Amino acid sequence: MASSVKYVLVIAALILTTVFSLKLGAVNASWADVRGVFDTDPDAVSRAILKLRWPRIVGAAVVGCYLAVAGLLFQILLRNPLADPTIFGVSSGAALAVVIAMNIVIALANITEGGASASYLPTQLVPPIAMGGALLASFAVVALAWKKGMQPLRLLLFGAVLAVVLNGAVMTLVLSLSEARTELAILWLAGSLYARDIADVLPGLWWGLGCFLAIGFYARSLSALRFDRDTAHALGVETKVAVPILLMAAAALAASAVAIAGPVGFVGLLVPHITRLVFGSSVRHMLIGSALFGALLVMLSDLVGRMIAPPLELPVGIVTSLIGAPFFAVLIRQSLRKVAL
Amino acid sequence: MIEAQNLSVAYEKRLILRDIDLRFEANSVTALVGPNGCGKSTLLRTLASLHKPQSGQVLLQDRPLHGLKRKTIAQKIAYMAQSPQAPEGLSVRQLVEHGAFARRRFFKRQDQEEVNDLLAACGLSQFAERPFAEMSGGEQQRAWIAMSLLQKASFLLLDEPTSSLDLGYQINILRLVEKLRKIQKFGVIMVLHDINQASHFADRIVALKDGIVLSEGPPDHVISSELIHTLYGADVTILRHPTSAGVTCVPNYGS
């Protein structure tokens, strides 16, 4: 099958998922209401759909797209097929920042006697705080791993170590919160698109545009970086420039995704491998394909999470983990077999 | 021309090469020979700017290598590692196309005719769309050479290009390089293990031991039973090659 046909199919699947995401959920809308969304003057039901479902569809697409592309970059740059944006300290850094912020707000509320309602962290503050934590943590990983340049293995190991430490701190802080707030924290930590507003998503779009421009500019370097270091150098790749820029772009994309939805696992790990199976190994196809499949996977997962037990919903991060974990096991088995050969 | 001036190279503070002065002309074939650990691969990597010298310098057309961008170097020097690692899942054509990295403009697409000609010259036309990973060792080696040649550099540096191949493919690869030099003019600097292959395919031999140049010059002048004994501790007899010009050596196994 030609790649253009495959792209058409994936995009068709994206449109179909969008339509069903508008229709299905805690309240099943009629087709007429879904159609009403595109009217110039939608009625009350259509407006409600537009207000509640549209932001999370866009959010899901953006989160999936960013995580998948970040995962692809990490896998190539760290020379590890099992690398994932979460290993870079991105998720745990974001989580710790958000949980610390929750604690600070509670402490401040107790001092100023602002009442119980003031002790909740305003939702619109969560994305920038998460972003700050994510970026800080990835800088910490790079700083710890730095030894005459960036070394993939050191980055991986320090990323894993930092993630464990930060997650421990997160758990300690979550358990020190009161019951109602623990629930909120856990919902965020599971990676959820619940009650996302379009304003949570928009800043991430500019951020992402910048990253994608940088990635596009260095796409051919990225392709050549898949060779061993000597060969990449000999081909003319300026690794000292290309690798840090691409790593920063990947960390920024992952941070941006985590800022919107909290830590959504396995997307960055899973999608590049699916893309390689479908589109082959050309870097251009891998980048575009990962972006599309990432969006599709998270949109579908969010839809599934909303449909399983309405009116309750499963956080999207739980759904991707439920799909991702078995896939991860298969992947490890396969790579072990390759080593055994 | 590549020139090593007073070149000393160290790995983790251990001195591997000491005060090397060598010149490599753009249209000659030089073989670097010597025992394991003599520094011949290190010399090759330093000439390709893959390793920093401790002191001294390498000049590429009279300009110091360390001041040049990798892209600029790659336009002049192609280097093939001893066992290069290929990305997963590429076809032979996709692999070879990476050779044009340093020459291609940002928006320009790869000139496929150029690739096709090169694949044909390397006898890879019928494998072009096949997965690289499924090729035999000899075919993979030809693909690596095709990739290096797509750089259109004036020097091709080869680190033991025949080391993992059977005798048939060893000769095949060296003849291929010889043939390609007639199509595309370039100089060759290669590390070779087999002194007889070096004698036949190179017009100059550089013999290294313990990080210094023991002897260098045309094969006929350099290869002697004394040199082989000093280099490898092996006892050999030097003969005129029965069917081609040049000398060859056969081991004296004793009785």
Nearest CA-CA partner of A317 in A22, A95, A157: A95
Spatial contact of B146 and B122, defined as CB atoms under 8 Å apart: yes
Q: Is A337 exposed, middle or buried (0-12, 13-18, 19+ CB in 10 A)?
A: exposed
Residue A67 has pLDDT above 80, yes or no: yes
Q: Is A227 on the interface with B (CB under 8 A)?
A: yes
Which of B101, B106, B109, B160 is best to mutate for the A interface (most A CBs within 10 A)? B101
Q: Do A235 and B77 touch (CB under 8 A)?
A: no
Convert A301-323 to b/e letters by CB count within 10 Å (16 or more is b): bbbbbbbeeeeebbbbbbbbbeb
Question: What is the average pLDDT across B26-38?
Answer: 91
Distance CA B11, CA B54 (A): 9
Q: Is A303 helix (H, G, I), strand (E, B) or coil?
A: helix
Q: How many CB pairs under 8 A join A and B?
A: 70
Q: Do A276 and B90 touch (CB under 8 A)?
A: no
More confident residue, A266 or A338: A266
Nearest CA-CA partner of A244 in A149, A131, A115: A149
Confidence of residue B147 (pLDDT cuts 50, 70, 90): very high
Structure tokens at B139: 């075919």
Whole-structure pTM value: 0.88
Using an 8 Å CB-CB cutoff, list chain A residues near B86.
227
Distance CA B134, CA B29 (A): 31
**Is the bond leading into A311 cis (omega within 30 degrees of zero)?**
yes
Look at the domain B2-251 and name its fold. Rossmann fold (3.40.50)
Spatial contact of B114 and B141, defined as CB atoms under 8 Å apart: no
B95–chain A nearest CA distance, Å: 9
Query: Around A70, how many Cα atoms within 13 Å sit in the side-chain half-sphere?
Result: 33
Q: How many CB atoms lie within 10 A of CB A201?
A: 24
Residue A339 has pLDDT above 60, yes or no: no
Using an 8 Å CB-CB cutoff, list chain B residues near A281.
87-90, 94
How far are the Cα atoms of A228, B30, B213, B246 from residue B226, in angstroms, in the given order?
A: 39, 21, 15, 18
Question: What is the average pLDDT across A159-174?
Answer: 86
B43–chain A nearest CA distance, Å: 14
Distance CA A68, CA A257 (A): 10
Using an 8 Å CB-CB cutoff, list chain A residues near B49.
233
Render pLDDT for A83-142 as a digit per residue (tens, 0 to 9).
887 767 778 888 888 888 888 887 777 666 554 444 566 766 777 788 888 888 888 888
Convert B151-168 to b/e letters by CB count within 10 Å (16 or more is b): bbbbbbbbbbbbeebeee
Query: Which range (A328-332, B9-13, B162-166) has the least confidence?
Result: A328-332
Query: Which range (A71-75, A109-113, A117-121, B61-65) has the least confidence?
Result: A117-121
What pLDDT was estimated at residue B255? Answer: 65
What pLDDT was estimated at residue A338? Answer: 58
ipTM of the complex: 0.91
B198–chain A nearest CA distance, Å: 24
What pLDDT was estimated at residue A341? Answer: 45
What pLDDT was estimated at residue A20? Answer: 87
Q: Do A281 and B48 touch (CB under 8 A)?
A: no
Name the residue of chain B whose CA is nearest to A221's CA.
Answer: B101
Structure tokens at A156: 């991986």
Nearest CA-CA partner of A187 in A116, A115, A264, A254: A264
What pLDDT was estimated at residue A203? Answer: 75
Spatial contact of A94 and A140, defined as CB atoms under 8 Å apart: no
Q: Do B50 and A281 touch (CB under 8 A)?
A: no
Closest CB to A226: pick one of B48, B87, B148.
B87
Spatial contact of A93 and A158, defined as CB atoms under 8 Å apart: no
Distance CA A130, CA A138 (A): 12
Distance CA A60, CA A303 (A): 10
Q: Is A180 on the interface with B (CB under 8 A)?
A: no
Q: Is B73 exposed, middle or buried (0-12, 13-18, 19+ CB in 10 A)?
A: buried
Spatial contact of B201 and B178, defined as CB atoms under 8 Å apart: yes
More confident residue, A157 or B170: B170
Q: Residue A153 contacts by C-beta under 8 Å, 6 or more apart in sequence?
A: none
Residue A310 has pLDDT above 80, yes or no: no
Q: Is B52 on the interface with A (CB under 8 A)?
A: no
State which H helix or E strand residue B57 sits in.
strand B55-60
Distance CA B168, CA B170 (A): 5
Question: What is the average pLDDT across A317-339?
Answer: 77
Distance CA A147, CA A155 (A): 10
DSSP per-residue codes, B11-38: ETTEEEEEEEEEEE-TT-EEEEE-STTS
State which H helix or E strand residue B156 sits in.
strand B155-159
Render pLDDT for A35-52 as a digit per residue (tens, 0 to 9).
777 777 777 777 777 777
Q: Do B69 and A238 touch (CB under 8 A)?
A: yes
What pLDDT was estimated at residue B108? Answer: 67
Q: Do B85 and A231 touch (CB under 8 A)?
A: yes
Question: What is the average pLDDT across B154-177?
Answer: 90
β-pairing verdict for B204-209 and B29-33:
parallel
Closest CB to A236: pick one of B70, B80, B81.
B70
Q: Does domain A3-340 have CATH number 1.10.3470.10?
A: yes
Question: What is the average pLDDT across A238-263?
Answer: 87
Render pLDDT for A200-231 as a digit per residue (tens, 0 to 9).
777 778 888 999 999 999 999 999 999 998 99
Q: Which residues pair with B248 in a beta bridge?
A: B239
Q: Do B101 and A227 touch (CB under 8 A)?
A: no
Q: At B24, which amino acid appears?
A: F
Query: Which range (A126-140, A275-289, B159-173, B221-235) has the least confidence?
Result: A126-140
Spatial contact of B89 and A280, defined as CB atoms under 8 Å apart: yes
Confidence of residue A154 (pLDDT cuts 50, 70, 90): confident
More confident residue, A336 or B202: B202
Beta strands in chain A (DSSP E): none
What pLDDT was estimated at residue B94? Answer: 93
Residue spans per domain, chain B: 2-251
More confident residue, A255 or A25: A255
Render pLDDT for A253-306 as a digit per residue (tens, 0 to 9).
988 888 888 888 889 988 998 898 888 889 999 999 999 999 999 999 999 888
Question: What is the average pLDDT across A304-326?
Answer: 83
Q: Is A54 exposed, middle or buried (0-12, 13-18, 19+ CB in 10 A)?
A: middle
